[in-house]
Amino acid sequence: MADFNLEAMSLKELWQLQKDLAKAISTYEDRHKSEARAKLEAIAKEMGYALADLIGVEVKATRAPAAAKYRHPENAALTWSGRGRKPQWIADHISAGKDPSDLAF
C-alpha cells in the first residue's frame, strides 16, 4: 500500500486524492467482476468452449425501431411511430379537434 504524507500535500492534491479514492471505491466491484469473468472465459477457452455456452446465456434480440406512421403536415422530416410520448405537433392537432388519422401516411 502506498504511503502518503498527507501533511505535505496541497489542498488541490488532497481534493484530487479524495476524487481518485471515491472513483476506486465505486468501481471496485466492477473491476473484480470483470477479472473473474476474464479468468472464467480463459478456462472455458482452454477447454474448447465459450463461457456463454457453458452457463447457458441467451443472446437477447434487440427490437428494431418502429416505422413512422404519422407525418407533420408542414415539415415532412417530423414523424412519429405512434409509440411512446406524443410529439407536441400531434397533441396540438388533436387538441384542435382534428383526427390524428389525417396525419397518417
CA-wise closest residue to 42 among 34, 32, 33, 51: 51
pLDDT in tens, 43-91: 999 999 988 888 877 656 677 888 999 999 899 899 999 999 999 999 9
Is 61 part of a structural domain of the chain? no
pLDDT of residue 73: 87
CA-wise closest residue to 82 among 71, 92, 97: 71
Q: Which amino acid is at 86?
A: K
**Same-domain check for residues 13 and 46:** yes
Q: Which amino acid is at 55?
A: I
pLDDT of residue 61: 67
pLDDT in tens, 3-58: 879 999 999 999 999 999 999 988 998 899 999 999 999 999 999 998 888 887 76
**Same-domain check for residues 45 and 75:** no
**Same-domain check for residues 76 and 49:** no
Domain that holds residue 76: 70-103
Q: With contact defined as beta carbons under 8 Å apart, do 79 and 86 qualify?
A: no
The tally of domains found in the chain comes to 2
Q: With contact defined as beta carbons under 8 Å apart, do 104 and 70 qualify?
A: yes
Is 49 part of a structural domain of the chain? yes
Is 79 part of a structural domain of the chain? yes
Show the cell assigned to 68: 413512422
| DSSP state, residue 87 | P
**Same-domain check for residues 48 and 83:** no
